[in-house]
């Protein structure tokens, strides 16, 4: 089953068209970066794959199923943590939530706990497992949330600007981690770091309401297809081209 299949997908928020004529297939163990200007629909595209946004047309299939069913194979890292940092909860409990199953009487099994430990090991946060989520730095929270996505043993990992709020050392750690993870799963990342990401990914998708480019991370080719090379790199402070 192909992880993501989008055919003629469009999304409207009220009268505004946010996504139009999106045709995209992402295969097993592919590592894909989605880039594009702010407001270009990158986060919306991830939400379409997750089934959190209703499409106004087209077909969405996640592992051959509608997104609401397919998302049990999907791990997701949101752009901004949508929780209150003062919430009384430990790192361990946050990650354990990723193992939630409906209608199970014994909520969490030993297997779940082992999975949490493994996920925290993978992101290098096992020493923090009893710590409160509120005392962590931005980069540490990011790693815990990646562990929460990984603990579900996803076949598809979606990351929305994971490097936006972390320092460059953490960025390298993160990309190296993703390089390892892609051997086990498909990875889709929304990012502004075109320069860095092109060393790692198989494919880059340039999105600004429509898909303007979809192919190997060949920067000059992207620039040509995109029309304006300046536009491509002018996303924000983090963007750079080597």
Partner 1 sequence: MYVFRNAFLAAFLISVLCGVVGSFVVVKRISLMSGGISHAAFGGIGLGYFLRISDPLIAAIPFSVLSAIGIGVLSRRAKMSEDISIGIFWAFGMALGILLVNMTPGYAPNLLGFLFGNILLVSPDDIIMMLTLDIFVLVLISLFYEEFLAISFDEEFAKIVGIRADFFNTLLLVIIAISIIVMIKVVGVILVIAMLIIPAAICKQFTNSMKILMISSIFASLFLTITGLWLSFIYNVPSGATIVLISSCAFFLISLIRC
Residues that bind partner 1 (CB under 8 A): 50, 52, 71-72, 74, 76, 78, 81-84, 86-90, 93-94, 97-98, 100-102, 107, 132-134, 148, 152
Nearest approach, Cβ of residue 102 and partner 1 (Å): 6
Nearest approach, Cβ of residue 176 and partner 1 (Å): 25
Complex with partner 1: residue 135 or 172, whichever CB lies closer: 135
Please, which contacts does 233-242 make with residues 24 or more away whose CB atoms are closer than 8 Å?
233/194, 234/37, 235/35, 235/36, 235/37, 235/38, 235/192, 236/38, 236/192, 238/163, 238/164, 238/192, 238/193, 239/192, 239/193, 239/194, 239/195, 240/193, 240/194, 240/195, 240/196, 241/194, 241/195, 242/195
Nearest approach, Cβ of residue 24 and partner 1 (Å): 20
Nearest approach, Cβ of residue 76 and partner 1 (Å): 6
Nearest approach, Cβ of residue 73 and partner 1 (Å): 11
Largest CA distance in the chain: 57
Token digits of residue 73: 């194979």
**DSSP-assigned beta bridge partners for residue 11:** 19
Complex with partner 1: residue 126 or 214, whichever CB lies closer: 126
Q: In angstroms, rounded to a whole number, what is the distance separating the alpha carbons of residues 165 and 179?
A: 20
Complex with partner 1: residue 135 or 241, whichever CB lies closer: 135
Complex with partner 1: residue 103 or 169, whichever CB lies closer: 103
Complex with partner 1: residue 52 or 219, whichever CB lies closer: 52
């Amino acid at each position: 089953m192909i992880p993501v299949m989008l055919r003629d997908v469009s999304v409207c928020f009220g009268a505004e068209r946010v996504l139009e004529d999106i045709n995209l297939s992402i295969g097993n163990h592919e590592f894909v970066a989605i880039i594009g200007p702010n407001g270009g629909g990158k986060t919306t595209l991830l939400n379409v794959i997750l089934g959190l946004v209703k499409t106004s047309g087209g077909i969405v299939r996640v592992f051959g199923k509608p997104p609401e069913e397919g998302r049990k194979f999907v791990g997701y890292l949101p752009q901004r943590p949508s929780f209150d940092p003062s919430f009384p909860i430990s790192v361990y409990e946050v990650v354990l939530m990723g193992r939630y199953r409906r209608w199970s009487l014994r909520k969490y099994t030993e297997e779940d706990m082992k999975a949490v430990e493994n996920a925290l090991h993978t992101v290098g946060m096992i020493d923090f497992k009893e710590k409160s989520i509120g005392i962590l730095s931005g980069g540490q929270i990011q790693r815990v949330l990646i562990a929460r996505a990984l603990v579900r043993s996803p076949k598809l990992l979606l990351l929305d600007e994971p490097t936006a709020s972390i320092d460059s050392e953490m960025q390298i750690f993160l990309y190296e981690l993703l390089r390892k993870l892609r051997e086990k799963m498909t990875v889709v990342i929304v990012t502004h770091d075109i320069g860095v990401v092109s060393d790692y990914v198989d494919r880059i998708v340039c999105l600004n309401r429509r898909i303007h480019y979809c192919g190997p991370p060949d920067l000059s080719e992207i620039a040509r297809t995109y029309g304006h090379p300046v536009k491509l790199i002018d996303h924000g402070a983090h963007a750079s081209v080597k």
